[in-house]
């Protein structure tokens, strides 16, 4: 135990008796300690009992509800019908628009017969950001009060628009709903559902409890319409959530999290779908990490703490990668020098406690106990995905150089 605290003593770092292994171990430990401590603090904060602070609004604002869809027309048709059948908000107070990318002709014909506005992007292959920009171009800045964005598979609680309306009436210009998995049919689906709920507690509920903006998640989001109409054309990249977070925080706009607005989504239920989704996430993660490292010093000097907090989140490694590497280092230190390994096992215990605090009670937790056997597969899949991403990019660069030389 003394070994753990000794590395926080400046004199320890000046001790000539420390060998390279001890110094490297200490540096690695501090690097891993920082993100784990961050997760622990916000996980602890998320335990505070949630209570909606917004009273009933005296005005019913007008909403534009946007569904984004890529190829799967039948899914979005089902989601829209469910939304129309279940929402208890006055029908004349909201309209529905569909950003329809690469839909089959038969699905487009079905949508044309429904009470929705269809926007087909002028690019056959486009990002979600571009599709939403195309939708917003069809409307004037003050045509609605709020815009709500859903994915094609989303289903929400019947009072969703009511709750968005109450928060907006009280001054919230950016709101994230509580996205939750709808399907728990396989171990992969259960683990990804549990991961999303842990995210909800740490990066949403825990954040707003301590006064910081909630993280956006890509769907189940509501924004002031005029504000979003102005911001939308400026968004860049393929990751809508991160592009929007940057735009909001650069203007010091706070994002609220409303836990009771449950937005159900379908999770990938097989290893292939999970890995495909993982590769897209990793690509986004690398670009956002470099952006965060570039912008964090200036944001810190300007005292923009909400923005700094967000940039720190982007720099942090994924939880699966964090767990996997901590396990590997703990095992490695056990064989290299067993006196150095104890603090790593304590760190692993801290990770376990952190995620247990953030794990919600209920159906997902019950299924998680049965699906936990698949976690090592996902952990090492995450590690190899990062390795594959690195060497894949390197290989691509080499191929590109070779092609260029051959063309000369």
The whole-number pLDDT of residue 401 equals 28
By CB atoms closer than 10 A (0-12, 13-18, 19+), residue 53 is exposed
Q: Largest Cα–Cα distance of the chain, in whole Å?
A: 79
pLDDT at 10 over 80: no
pLDDT range class, residue 283, cuts 50, 70, 90: low
Three-state secondary structure call for residue 95 = strand
Q: What angle do CA 156, 161, 167 make, to 5 degrees?
A: 120
Count of Cβ atoms closer than 10 Å to residue 393 Cβ: 12
* Mean of pLDDT values over 182-198: 82
Of the candidates 51, 37, 139, 127, the one whose C-alpha atom is nearest the C-alpha of residue 95 is 139
Going by their DSSP bridges, the two strands 94-101 and 174-181 should be labelled as unpaired
Sign of torsion, CA 47 200 39 193? Answer: positive
Backbone angles phi, psi at 159, to 5 degrees: -100, 20
Residues 211, 80: Cα–Cα separation, whole Å: 34
Average pLDDT over residues 118-123: 90
Position 155 pLDDT exceeds 90: yes
Check pLDDT > 80 for residue 393: no
pLDDT value for 271 = 59
The structure's pTM equals 0.85
Three-state DSSP class for residue 65: strand
**Tens digit of pLDDT for each residue in 315-368?**
988 887 888 889 899 999 898 888 888 889 999 999 999 988 988 777 676 666
Average pLDDT of span 60-73: 93
Q: Which residues pair with 70 in a beta bridge?
A: 101
Let me know if domain 63-267 sits in CATH 3.90.550.10: yes
Residues sharing a CB contact under 8 Å with residue 201, sequence separation 6 or more, in sequence order: 43, 46, 357, 358, 359, 360
Give the residue-averaged pLDDT of 292-306: 92
pLDDT at residue number 406: 39
- Given pLDDT bands bounded at 50, 70 and 90, which one contains residue 185? confident
Ranges in the chain annotated CATH 3.90.550.10: 63-267
């Amino acid at each position: 135990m003394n070994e753990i605290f000794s590395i926080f003593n400046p004199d320890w770092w000046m001790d000539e008796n420390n060998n390279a292994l001890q110094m490297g171990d200490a540096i690695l430990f501090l690097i891993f300690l920082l993100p784990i401590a961050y997760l622990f603090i916000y996980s602890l904060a998320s335990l505070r009992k949630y209570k909606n602070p917004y009273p009933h609004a005296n005005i019913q604002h007008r909403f534009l509800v946007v569904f984004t869809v890529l190829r799967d027309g039948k899914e979005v048709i089902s989601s829209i019908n469910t939304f129309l059948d279940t929402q208890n908000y006055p029908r004349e107070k909201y309209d529905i628009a569909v950003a329809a990318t690469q839909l089959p002709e038969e699905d487009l014909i079905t949508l044309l017969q429904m009470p929705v506005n269809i926007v087909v992007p002028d690019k056959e292959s486009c990002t979600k950001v571009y599709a939403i920009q195309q939708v917003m171009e069809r409307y004037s800045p003050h045509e609605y009060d709020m815009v709500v964005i859903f994915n094609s598979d989303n289903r929400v609680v019947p009072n969703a628009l009511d709750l968005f309306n109450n928060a907006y009436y009280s001054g919230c210009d950016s709101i994230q709903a509580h996205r939750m998995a709808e399907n728990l049919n396989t171990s992969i689906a259960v683990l990804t559902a549990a991961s999303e709920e842990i995210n909800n507690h740490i990066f949403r509920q825990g954040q707003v409890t301590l006064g910081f903006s909630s993280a956006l998640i890509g769907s189940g989001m509501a924004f002031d319409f005029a504000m979003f109409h102005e911001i939308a054309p400026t968004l860049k990249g393929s990751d809508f959530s991160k592009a929007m977070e940057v735009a909001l925080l650069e203007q010091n706009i706070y994002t609220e999290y409303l836990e009771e607005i449950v937005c159900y989504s379908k999770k990938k239920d097989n290893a292939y779908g999970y890995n495909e989704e993982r590769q897209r996430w990793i690509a986004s993660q690398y670009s956002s990490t470099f952006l965060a490292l570039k912008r964090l010093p200036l944001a810190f000097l300007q005292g923009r703490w909400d923005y700094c907090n967000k940039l720190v989140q982007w720099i942090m490694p994924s939880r699966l990668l964090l767990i996997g590497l901590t396990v590997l280092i703990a095992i490695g230190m056990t064989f290299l020098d067993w006196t150095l390994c104890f603090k790593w096992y304590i760190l692993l215990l801290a990770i376990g406690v952190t995620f247990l605090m953030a794990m919600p009670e209920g159906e997902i937790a019950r299924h998680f106990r049965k699906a936990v056997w698949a976690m090592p597969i996902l952990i090492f899949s995450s590690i190899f995905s990062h390795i594959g991403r690195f060497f894949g990019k390197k290989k691509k660069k080499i191929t590109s150089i070779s092609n260029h030389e051959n063309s000369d």
